[in-house]
Amino acid sequence: MVMTVGVLGATSPAGAQVLKQLLSDKVNVVAFTRGTVAGLEPGIDWISLADCDLEALKAKYRQINHWISASHIWVLNQHF
């Protein structure tokens, strides 16, 4: 099974460090951000929660084996 890790808060300072480590370990990464994804780290499957297609998001969700949250805690109440 191919390991794919979903990273919430991928553009945060902590998220950036997590992405570096995952990329150096050759892990497939799906990174989520509230912002735009243009010009961000290559080699990562970026998803902008601000303008994503729900069906595409569901398809990506099914591919993710593990999750890491680097989101700021105060952001979570906007989504739950």
Residue 52 pLDDT: 79
CA angle 11, 37, 64 (to 5 degrees): 70
Q: What is the CA radius of gyration of the chain?
A: 12
Residue 4 pLDDT: 94
Mean pLDDT across the chain: 84
Percentage above 70 pLDDT, the chain: 85
Interval 7-27: pLDDT, tens: 998 888 899 899 999 999 999
How many CB atoms lie under 10 A from the CB of residue 65? 12
Report the alpha-carbon distance of residue 32 to residue 11 in Å, rounded: 8
Domains of the chain: 4-76 (3.40.50)
State in Å, rounded, how far the first CA of the chain is from the last one.
31
Interval 28-56: pLDDT, tens: 999 988 887 766 677 798 888 888 788 88
pTM: 0.79
